[in-house]
Structure 1
Amino acid sequence: MKYQKYLIELLRNSSIDSGNIHEASKAVLQAFVKAMYLKDGSIWLLDDNGSMVCSFILDMHEKSINHFSAMDEMQVKILFQELGSNAYLVLNSKQATSAYWVSNVDLINHSVIYTPIYHKGSIVGFLQGRRQNHQAGFDEKSIPFTSALANLFGRAILATQNNKLQHALKNANLDLQQTVLKRNQELKKTLEDLQTAQGHLVESEKMAALGQLVCGVAHEVNTPLGVAITSLSILGEEIHKLKTSYDSGTLDEPTFMSFIEHALSAHDIAEVNMRRAATLIHEFKQTSADQSHRVLVTLELKTLIDSIIASLTPIYEPHQVEFVLDIPDALYVTTYSESIDQILTNLVNNTCIHGFQASNQRHNLIFIKVFVQGKDFVIDYQDNGVGISDSIAKNIFTPFFTTNRSNGGSGLGLSVIYNLVSQKLAGEIRVIEQDASLGAHFQIRLPITLTEEFN
């Protein structure tokens, strides 16, 4: 009953499982010394060098821990051999000679009990209790009590280690959080730097594209303007000659008729080239999809395409073009009809100029197929003309790119289509890769219901 009382008190002591190793050792040693009527009780623990060190002591004379010298590795080995598989080891004056390895206990005047402390299946220390020889020896009934005390202290060691692990884990988590926060800040800064660099790159690309566009416009417009200026200069010289002849009184009919001939020629050349420049500027303006006068309308697509094709008769009739249409009935779309008109007009005009003029086909055909995909409709446009090579296809939507400049091609027709599709109609256009001998093939994807928000 005496031992049970002390054990119950210890089981209720929060220090055992709280990880407070100092309070736990104090509670265990108080129960050990009081219940066993010991002179002193101590707790010995293995250190990192394999020595057994007195870590805690409760002495009726309040001796310090340094009262006992550490047991070296050899002494510990002998102690473990003496313990064997037993739950305890008792030494007294009878073993004073044979237990030569015991250096911290005067066995002539004391008896001592060693009870191993286990942690995770291994001995990590022991409880040591000393009595003076005039006291009664250690009885069998006290052994389970000392073993229970040793096990309770083993629990305290486990709780202490768990606390250390939890503390280390908490610190590791804090370090991880700090690392993650630091990395996030670094990533955020990197992302901001990338976005800034991307913005600069986009602006640089825009400026480069604008530069190319301006150079293209200048080159295309300067040519006819240069010819017109030259013609006007020649006309000016002819007028000066005419005035000189008139002032000198030598103006005759042949001279006057020669002037008329040169003046009319210079005028015609200047007019043609000025009109050419005006046409180029007009086409260049069309490459911008921002044409605010256009309004959204809902209409049947088949009816719209039929009317567009009918209006293009003067363009394709000289080439004897036949249209093959596959357009579903009652397909209503909300879009800018003028933009659809301009897209098909430019495609048909491009086919007639580039595809059919040099074609050897007996029958010139244009295929237009329309089908629905999800919320979009697709205009599949194909001809059986000359076709588009890979080298041309990659530049085909670039402003002023043309293979027909010698015959007056401006290189703006497909560029206008691209801008209308991508900017005005919220769609996309692509060249379908195929053998050039099969003709040109385009696919245009557009939303069935276009909204004002896009523009």
Structure 2
Amino acid sequence: MAYPEGLGQAMKAGGPTRSSSHATTTAKRRPAPKAARASSPAKTKVESPAKTEIEQLALELQEARERQAATAEVLSLISDSPTGIQPVFDRIIKNAARLCQSVLSAVYRRDGDHVHLVAYDQFSPESVAAVRKAYPAPLSSNNLISVAIRERRLVHEPDVLVSGGYSELQSTSGYRSILVVPMLRDEVAIGAIAVMRLEPQLFPKAQVELLKTFAGQAVIAIENTRLFAEVQERTRQLSQSLEDLRAAQDSLVQTEKLAALGRLVAGVAHEINTPVGTSLTVASALLNKTDRFEADVVSGGVRRSTLAEFIAASREAASQIMINLNHAIDLIQSFKQVASDRNVSDRRAFDLGQVTEQVVKGLRFGLRRNLVVSVECEADLAMNSYPGPYGQVLTNLVLNSAVHAFPDGARGSVHIAAQASGKHNVEVLFSDDGCGMSSEVKRQVFDPFFTTRRDQGSTGLGLHIVHNIVTNRLGGRINLETRPGAGTKIRIIVPREAPFAAE
């Protein structure tokens, strides 16, 4: 605003004046003396430089707050939408258009050798038709978006008509200035953000920095979406692998169960064959004696001594047959009990010592003669648990020792002791005097599929099954102590009242 000379000098002097109209009139009529002019009160309100600076700072502070709120809003949207990238793009271009006072804003993505328009704001129908015609655009083209992405640099044109940045979009919208910021991920341009204005002038530095921030946030959103998708796919693959592993493990466990049962059946068959074979031999001999006695009776040559001898031989034969057949019956009953407990995981009341004896008795049939298994159980260890899984634990422990603790048919012994542990628990101590384990083997001994004899057909599931049964089905805990050359001790603590199995 141009002030008359007198008023201007009065303002410079800081003295009060009258109203501006009166001062102007007075100045035209008769100039006042300098002293009078300096001392006359100023009536006109003139903004001081300090006040103008404060207002400017307040405006800049308000704009900074708006930029901060906009970036925070985008970050919150990124956090809330890890799988949806389009809402983030839409919010970025709206905030960019508002804070940069632009008429157009858009987000572009690179896909191979082409550039695609993925989000835009304030496009007229004519502009939408123009960009649909122009995109996807070759990355090698000369349009400013492709240049910014291809050369990984900021493109800032104050007037595209002067610089030659003409495009179909420019002709339909009439924008003159453009700012394009590439979206860089590890120095690789994956897209760009652009804002355009009608005025042919450069964007302020604060708006350039804001658009760079938006570009960085867009990269974060893209990376989040990509990583989330990769995690989802990896999780799906791991879930599938886990299902396959469980299926394979179940199959191997079943195979191992059948193999153990097969060894048990073979041992039982061998043991039963002994008393049955003996009974058959005795019965055959008795039949021969009966035939000879019958011949003596027919010939009339039966003497008292002959009759007494035949009666004694018959009694001895019958006694031998009874003993061996009773032994066979005991074997069959023991086998039936063990087989029943293995195949039925029903919870029931039982005596721990009796079940332990039955299981070990059945196992002895299939073990080598040079491996001795002894049992020492406290009397009256009443349980309300699962005898089948408990029997499987003992079976796996004994067979594992037979294979691993005494390699190459070495002689040895296994001892199983059971006793009360407090009021509500029992302790089963399994020990052998075998070769023991190294610290490395001990660390992995309960892991599934871990074995030191895979080349000899071991699956590495025996002790893993033991650990799972003890800690899950029986509700107990297991501890192993071993060292090379000093044998192995496995201490099992289980409650008398086992937890109910999950349906």
- For this structure pair, what is the TM-score category when the shorter chain's length is used for normalisation? 0.3 to 0.5
Q: Calculate the TM-score normalised by the size of structure 1.
A: 0.48
> Greater CA radius of gyration, 1 or 2?
1
